[in-house]
Amino acid sequence: MDQSTGEAAESCHISVMPSEIVHWIQECDPRVIVDGTYGGGGHSRLLLDKLPAGEGHVIGLDRDPAVSLRVESESHDPRLDVFLGSYEQAPKALAAMELKSADAFVLDLGLSSDQLADRDRGFSFTTDGPLDLRFDPENGVPASQWLANHKEVDIANAIYQFGEERFSRRIARAIVLRGKERKPVRTVNDLVEICRRCVPRSKNHDIHPATRTFQALRIAVNDELEILTRTLADAPNWIAGGGRIAVISFHSLEDRIVKNAFRDDDRWNILTKKPLRPSDAEVAANPRSRSAKLRVAERVADTA
């Protein structure tokens, strides 16, 4: 885990449910806040504004090196420090700042607009480019290599489990066939064309035929669900009593993990009995927020 260095372009990302995050986090009067998915820094900046003047600290983490490069090129509040690393490494970031615990923890699990706009990353299937899908392009293997390294049954299982795609077997079979024909899937368009052929177009045309497959491969390549599960299990160990955790998820797999983690651990007091959704006005202004769900829990104070 490294602190940020370098240069990068200005962020175009719009944070999701910003007023809701501020409301639920501000209520616990935090002094130390961890923003585990810093992205464009929108949530962090709003939360910094709510800290007492000259007091408190916000620690940001992000796996994407482009975020670290951008942060270093910007002037920002001295109470903000951003580290390159997964939100799972929040305890290490706190230790680096000589802090034992945090009062609040924020996770926005969605892709940022900056990542979608980067053609070299492959997150958007509307423009062609390398099929990478890694949050951190300097670690792990790109999705194209992941596909080349796995058997048909493993690819089908991943697409079905992580994308809830009913036609996962067809897609996996077509991917493997291309490899056998020495035309392996290497680009976004390669995979999009397979999905177009294998997934019947829905009547309402709301969902692109490649949506679920790209989601599945991104989750697999970045080990997203395992990291989320481990982080939520460990978070009560470093969030202070009375502190809060707020998690924004964007699909049912993530939301289920958050819901179960809050429900099954006695150290959490659930504050949102049902997930909160963005307002109609926000969805109109930022359509990417439409599938967001926010859950909030409070760390139960330890008893002697």
Domain 119-223, architecture per CATH: Orthogonal Bundle (1.10)
Per-residue pLDDT tens for 250-263? Answer: 999 999 999 999 99
User: Can you read off the two tokens belonging to residue 58?
Assistant: 């916000």
**CATH superfamily of domain region 2-114+225-299:** Vaccinia Virus protein VP39 (3.40.50.150)
Q: Is 41 assigned to a binding site?
A: yes
Pairing label, strands 57-62, 32-35: parallel
Q: What is the DSSP letter of 237?
A: G
- Alpha carbon distance 102, 237 (integer Å): 10
Contact 129, 188 (CB under 8 A): yes
Mean per-residue pLDDT of the chain: 89
Could you give the residue ranges of the DSSP H alpha helices within the chain?
18-26, 42-50, 65-73, 90-96, 113-117, 143-149, 152-163, 168-180, 188-198, 211-222, 224-234, 252-264, 280-285
| CA angle 93–56–45, rounded 5-degree value | 80
Beta-ladder partners of 105: 34, 245
pLDDT above 50 for 16: yes
Angle formed by the axes of helices 188-198 and 168-180, nearest 10°: 130
Tokens encoding 33: 């806040």
Check whether 237 has a pLDDT greater than 50. yes
For residues 33 and 57, the answer to whether their CB atoms sit within 8 Å is: yes
User: 3-state DSSP helix/strand/coil percent for the chain, to nearest 5?
Assistant: 45, 15, 40
Which residues are CB-contacts of 154 (< 8 A; sequence separation ≥ 6)?
A: none
Closest to 66 measured CA to CA, from 113, 19, 16? 113
Using a pLDDT cut of 90, give the percent of the chain over it. 71
**pLDDT for res 195:** 95
Compute how many other C-beta atoms are within 10 angstroms of the C-beta atom of residue 81.
18
Six-digit token string for 270: 């659930």
Q: Which of 233, 189, 181, 247 is nearest to 214 (CA)?
A: 189
Q: Residue 5: what pLDDT?
A: 39
Contact 27, 13 (CB under 8 A): no
Does the annotation place 62 within a ligand binding site? yes
Task: List the structure tokens of 28.
Answer: 């616990």
Residue 115 is assigned to a ligand binding site: yes
Query: Three-state DSSP class for 28?
Result: coil
81 marked among binding-site residues: no
Joined tokens for residue 45: 């900046």
Identify the pLDDT of residue 239.
Answer: 98
The helices-and-strands tally (H runs, E runs) of the chain is 13, 8
Q: Is the pLDDT of residue 168 over 80?
A: yes
The pLDDT value given to residue 53: 80
DSSP-derived 3-state class of residue 244: strand
pLDDT at res. 1 = 58
Enumerate the CATH 1.10.150.170 domain ranges in the chain, comma separated: 119-223
Residue 26 in marked binding region:
no
Please list the residue range(s) of the chain that carry CATH number 3.40.50.150.
2-114+225-299
Does residue 278 carry a pLDDT above 90?
yes
**Which pLDDT value is given to residue 111?**
72
The pLDDT of residue 267: 97
Mean pLDDT along residues 187-197: 95
Residue 223's Cβ-side half-sphere holds a number of Cα atoms within 13 Å equal to 13
Residue 43, marked binder: yes
